[in-house]
Structure 1
């Protein structure tokens, strides 16, 4: 039985070693992770919509929009890892199911195939929605002194605001 006690001491040491102490209290980390989870859901939903529009766009601007949408969905796909890994760094699981994303997202789903210009309008609205979601996470990040999340949010905001502007320019 001597091994039994040492095994429990080892587990206790491991559990203590697994405690997250990055200078952000757990309650603040949870609030930030929850906000980032909504951002992840919005990003995934916008990725899916943009990729679907890439596949289904038609009309005189086909080549331009097909290529533009591919650039945009590729950027969104790559952003998913950054957001999910930040959630994990804060010590919480990243949502990873369609059910979770549907419950968390503010991006409207499209099940039909709209016209090319309606696709552009919907993507403007989608990028603006993601920007609003990112902006809502800032107070929690600032309260927790989480500069890493603030930096990620700033980068995401720049991308979504610029993309919305570029898409909006096609509608004029």
Structure 2
């Protein structure tokens, strides 16, 4: 009877991940994706916050633009986190983890910012996400992880475009 219960426990264990990428490389990619997720989540929060708090002559257009951007960012967060899980690692999911891992630092609160200050912060935040995406792409290419390269490349294109559109408002 004892051997039967050992077999049941062993058969209940999840199989080892064997997707053609070593555990060491999967860990490196997942760590990079965790930083990328943290930057992306921090930018999402900032964009949503500015959507709520923008005022001034650019209110209507910025309110709508920020909503378009944070809505798109929200969907992307799930894709990034699920890629981390597909590689076999837990995705960060707390504010404490995001603050620790993000390269985007808290700046002045929206109460003290005009619309131009908000736009400057969002340009900076989008550019930070771009820099992190480029690191993830390099790590993923070295690991032969094409799905992560594809995901990070798509995100990079979106954040470069967002940074350009926001920057154009300040010219």
Q: TM-score range by the shorter chain?
A: over 0.9
CA drift of 1:111 comes to: 4.8
Q: Which residue number corresponds to residue 14 of structure 1?
A: 12
- RMSD value over aligned CA atoms? 1.0
What is the CA–CA distance in structure 1 between the aligned matches of 2:105 and 2:59, rounded to whole Å?
A: 23
Aligned-partner Cα distance in 1 for 2:107–2:73: 17
Structure 2 partner of 1:152: 151
The 5-angstrom pairing of residues 15-30 of structure 1 reads 15=13, 17-30=14-27
Distance 1:166 1:111 in 2: 22
Question: Structure 2: which 5+ runs fail to align?
Answer: none
Residue 105 of structure 1 is matched in structure 2 by: 102
- Rounded to whole Å, the distance in 2 between the matches of 1:154 and 1:54 is 26
Kindly indicate whether the alpha-carbon contact (under 8 Å) linking 2:137 and 2:153 is maintained by their aligned counterparts in 1: no
The residue aligned with 1:132 is 131
Post-superposition offset of 1:11: 2.2
Give the TM-score normalised by structure 2.
Answer: 0.96
CA contact (8 A) 1:49 1:110 kept: no
* CA deviation map 1:15-50 (0-9, x unaligned): 3x5210000000000000000000000010000000
**Unmatched runs of 5 consecutive residues or more in structure 1:** none
In 1, the alpha carbon distance for the partners of 2:87 and 2:4 equals: 30
Q: Which deviates further from its counterpart, 32-41 or 132-141?
A: 132-141
What is the CA–CA distance in structure 2 between the aligned matches of 1:111 and 1:101, rounded to whole Å? 18
- Residues of 1 paired with 2:162 and 2:153: CA distance? 14
- Residue 93 of structure 2 is aligned to residue 96 of structure 1: yes
Question: Segments of 4+ in structure 1 off by > 3 A?
Answer: none
